[in-house]
Amino acid sequence: MIRFHNVRWQNFLSSGNAWTEIELDRSPNTLVIGENGAGKSTMLDALCFSLFGRPFRKINIPQLVNSVNQKGLQCEVNFTIGSSKYQVIRGEKPKKFEIYKDGNLLNQTASRREYQTHLEQNILKLNYNSFTQIVILGSSTFIPFMQLPAHLRRDIIEDLLDIKIFTTMNALLKERLADNKLKVTDVKNALLVEDEKLNVHENYIHEIETKNRERIANLMSEIEKSESSISRLEISIESSNKKIKELQESITDEESVHKKLQDILKIESKFDDKTKKYNREIKFFQDNDHCPTCDQDIDTTIKNAKIEQGKHKVQEVAAALDKLQTELDKENQRLLDIGEVNKEIQEYLTKVTDDNNQISSLNQYIKQIRGSIDTEVSDSTDLKAENKKLKDMKKAIATLEKKRKEHINEKELLDVAYEMLRDKGIKTQIVRQYIPVMNKLVNKYLAAMEFFVSFELDENFEETIKSRHRDKFSYSSFSEGEKMRIDLSLLLTWRSIAKMKN
């Protein structure tokens, strides 16, 4: 049970920076009186704001801050639940929200909303609506129980009887149901995938068994074709090498021809030098009658003899050059013939190279085919391993099927629990136990107020009101004064039930 000790505030509504404090535990009952505007309603606003972050009256949060100071709003409330002492501090400008238990600040790592939820659900065990229906009653914003919609009536009674735990459990159960549904779907999808994999693997094994030999035979045929081509190329290479040898033997004189040509060119150069020398001597004797060396006249007979002698020598050199040119032409022709042979040899060498490249490519191709054959043989050899994989897949499917059944069984249990925890389940059974007590108390307080009617609430909190003459009425059938008596009776009943429950 909650026992309030005091509530205090500053910079709240019309209150200034000085603290205003109301002691609530000085005596069993405390009466607060004062003129209009003295701050009686402010106390209720401060109490509600401290606990729930909203005032009792319909006032916006920014309007709660003192209009003069415009900052430093802070409200505090101290209370005891059982043996634990609590203090709640809440402020604006700057924002502040702290909960102390036995002088220790509770963990503030959660968000403000989660912190507020912890205060309402785990400490007060009352929300704002229940608090303003059961704990405090004000004339400004109070909505009587009978004027509340059905779901809010149920919320208040659930808070009062501390059975909202079943609502929380139901919410968690819904999460479990959603998680279970997801698991069932995941297992179902996994089963479909495994079934498809199983079918694919079975087809794969069948393909290995039926087509393996045919593929190996085709590959062996390719090897035979390639080896036949290699044999033909090797014969061609052998023939080309034989022809190259013959051609090379036909030009063994290539080096001597080159040497002979060089010798002829050297001799030709010497003959050219002699011809130039003889022509200079002839020209000298033709152009000169006086010797510049001995400074004597040259005899005409000697001069003519020298000229004739020089011309004769020039003719002899020219004849030798003609013979030499004939020999040079012969050797050049031989060199051209050797060039043609070398060209033919090069063509055969190119052909040999091409044939060798083809043989290398074919050998590489044969190697690849043999690798493919090894793979095929390995696949055939590993058929036992593939069958083992198939067996493992079937085991996996059996495991998934077992999980699916487990999840379905779990869903059946969760469905039963859901039926128990929904509004028509356990909560209704508990409410049914309290309904007679509630009705008895309400009628007791109505009689004390000299309002003699039979008032009954059902488990849906719909009223049935009968007069002495057993005429049936509803709450709206009565006058405002009579409604007030019903409202007060219900308020006193809720407090009595809360006291009994605690």
Tell whether the model's pLDDT for residue 321 goes beyond 70: yes
Query: Across the beta sheet with 472-473, what order do the strands follow?
Result: 454-457, 463-466, 472-473
DSSP annotation of 67 reads: T
Output phi, psi for 286, to 5 deg: -70, -35
Instruction: Render pLDDT for 201-231 as a digit per residue (tens, 0 to 9).
Output: 788 777 777 777 777 788 888 888 988 999 9
- Report yes or no on whether pTM surpasses 0.85: no
Contact 279, 309 (CB under 8 A): no
Give me the sign of the Cα torsion angle 465, 471, 477, 479: negative
Separation between Cα atoms, residue 280 and residue 274, nearest integer Å: 10
Tell whether the model's pLDDT for residue 470 goes beyond 70: no
Token look-up 């209370």 returns 79
Tell whether the model's pLDDT for residue 293 goes beyond 80: no
Whether residue 292 is preceded by a cis peptide bond, meaning omega within 30 degrees of 0, is no
Separation between Cα atoms, residue 99 and residue 92, nearest integer Å: 16
**Comparing C-alpha atoms, which of 319, 298, 297 is closest to residue 307?**
298
DSSP annotation of 107 reads: P
Q: Could you give the count of Cα atoms lying within 13 Å of 101 in the half-sphere of its Cβ?
A: 12
* Residue 71 pLDDT grade (very low, low, confident, very high; cuts 50, 70, 90): very high
Instruction: Render pLDDT for 107-156 as a digit per residue (tens, 0 to 9).
Output: 877 788 889 988 988 888 888 887 887 777 665 556 778 888 877 888 77
Contact 160, 134 (CB under 8 A): yes
Instruction: Render pLDDT for 474-494 as a digit per residue (tens, 0 to 9).
Output: 787 788 888 888 888 988 888
Which H or E element spans position 20? strand 20-23
What is each CA distance from 155 to 27, 118, 125, 176, 319, in whole angstroms?
A: 32, 17, 12, 24, 143
Can you state the percent helix, strand and coil of the chain, rounding each to 5?
70, 10, 20
Average pLDDT of 416-442?
A: 85
* Residue 9 pLDDT grade (very low, low, confident, very high; cuts 50, 70, 90): very high
Contact 251, 342 (CB under 8 A): yes
Query: Across the beta sheet with 96-101, what order do the strands follow?
Result: 20-23, 2-10, 73-81, 84-92, 96-101, 104-105
**Which residue(s) pair with 466 in the sheet?**
454, 472
Output phi, psi for 325, to 5 deg: -65, -40
The tokens of 487 are what? 């409202």
Strand ranges in 331-468 using DSSP code E only, listed in sequence order: 454-457, 463-466
What is each CA distance from 190 to 181, 183, 344, 360, 412, in whole angstroms?
A: 14, 10, 73, 51, 21
* Residue 280 pLDDT grade (very low, low, confident, very high; cuts 50, 70, 90): confident
Cβ count within 10 A of residue 490: 23
Tell whether the model's pLDDT for residue 86 goes beyond 60: yes
**Comparing C-alpha atoms, which of 66, 90, 369 is closest to residue 216?**
369
DSSP annotation of 299 reads: P
CA–centroid distance for 430 within its chain: 49
Burial (CB count <10 Å: 0-12, 13-18, 19+), residue 30: exposed
* Residue 274 pLDDT grade (very low, low, confident, very high; cuts 50, 70, 90): confident
